[in-house]
Amino acid sequence: MNIIETEFPGLLIIEPKIFADQRGYFYETYNEKIFEGHNIHNKFVQDNISKSAKNILRGLHFQKPPYAQGKLVKVIQGSVLDVSVDLRVESPTYGKHIKVLLSESNNKMLWIPEGFAHGFLTLEDETIFYYKCTNFYNAPSDSSILWNDPELNIDWGIADPIISEKDRNAKKLSDFKGLF
């Protein structure tokens, strides 16, 4: 695996080594020894999968402490524009975001540590997105930041995505300062 550090402390892009031949391909999505060497939380307790049509925007979601989650994410089918926003007040990248293209063809994964809001825009129909989480879902601590918050200035590449009522009514980043 190739682990790529980003400007966001702790947020990593993971490129698996793919073994391909005429039969298809094989690659590891998790290796405890490699992940431990990069401080990737290795106690995963919940896996989630979502399937979405094209132009669905999910996010920007996170859970408040003490139920915050680290997430290892990847696309199984289709592609997404994946966005993570740093909510850690002491971080040099607080309030900034990173965008990564995740797809079934590039097989990239993203490690998103606790303290980030996360969302994605599906770029194809029938997109299947996979999350491996370090904490269980806790409804009372579930939160979201408005996907088009002017303070974040995220260019999603679409003016009118399909979003849930929850995401349409999300709060701005300024409403959450000091959580992490």
CA trace torsion 124, 60, 73, 157 (10° rounding): 30
Q: Is 131 a catalytic residue?
A: yes
How many Å apart are CA 170 and CA 49, to the nearest integer? 22
Element (H, E) at 165: helix 165-168
d(CA 178, CA 86): 12
Can you tell me the distance from the alpha carbon of 62 to that of 118, in angstroms, rounded to the nearest whole number? 7
Residue 165 neighbours by CB under 8 Å, 6+ apart: none
Nearest to 117 by CA among 147, 87, 161: 87
Which position among 41, 61, 97, 118 bears the catalytic label?
Answer: 61
- Per-residue exposure over 116-142, b if at least 16 CB sit within 10 Å of its own CB, e if not: bbbbbbbbbeebbbbbbbbbeeeeeee
Active site residue 118: no
Nearest one of 126, 112, 132 to 28, comparing CA atoms: 132
Q: Which of 27, 97, 131, 137 is catalytic?
A: 131
* Catalytic residue IDs: 61, 131
